[in-house]
Amino acid sequence: MKKQRNTAQKRIIMQALECADHPTATELYELVHAENPRISKATVFRVLSQYSENGEVRRLHIAGSDDRFDATLAPHAHLRCAYCGRIRDVMFPELAPILSAESVEGYKVYSAEIDFLCCCPECSAAGADRGGILN
């Protein structure tokens, strides 16, 4: 396997991802580009793709939305607001063995994700969840 160089641009992109809250590739590009206008959108997309293929970041596939990226690799779950789309990491120590299981009933496990669809405090305070799930 060809060793990937850790360029200054890659470090900048990873640092931005670590500080962002599950951004899409476009959102991450906008963050990076605001501080470093010489980094192109294609570079951000390519680096994110490489990082996700190499297991250095987690790509989150969410129906009806662009993929999002997560720099947290430790076993964890996600709280995802059904109204605004905000995603937050949540650590449940009791879930760690489940999320890091190597096999289940004879199946080899490659990855595991737990995604709680919920209403975040901000949307709840604004009354978004009155009347049930997605009204």
Question: How far apart (Å, rounded) are the C-alpha atoms in residues 45 and 108?
Answer: 30
Crossing angle of helices 8-19 and 25-35, in 10° steps, is: 120
At 95 the three-state DSSP class reads helix
**120 in a labelled binding site:** yes
Question: How far apart (Å, rounded) are the C-alpha atoms in residues 2 and 93?
Answer: 36
**123 in a labelled binding site:** yes
Count Cβ atoms below 10 Å from residue 25 Cβ, excluding itself: 19
CA distance readout (Å), 118 to 84, 89, 102, 135: 10, 13, 28, 13
**84 in a labelled binding site:** yes
Question: How far apart (Å, rounded) are the C-alpha atoms in residues 87 and 57?
Answer: 16
Q: Residues marked as binding for Zn(2+)?
A: 81, 84, 120, 123
Q: Residues marked as binding?
A: 81, 84, 120, 123
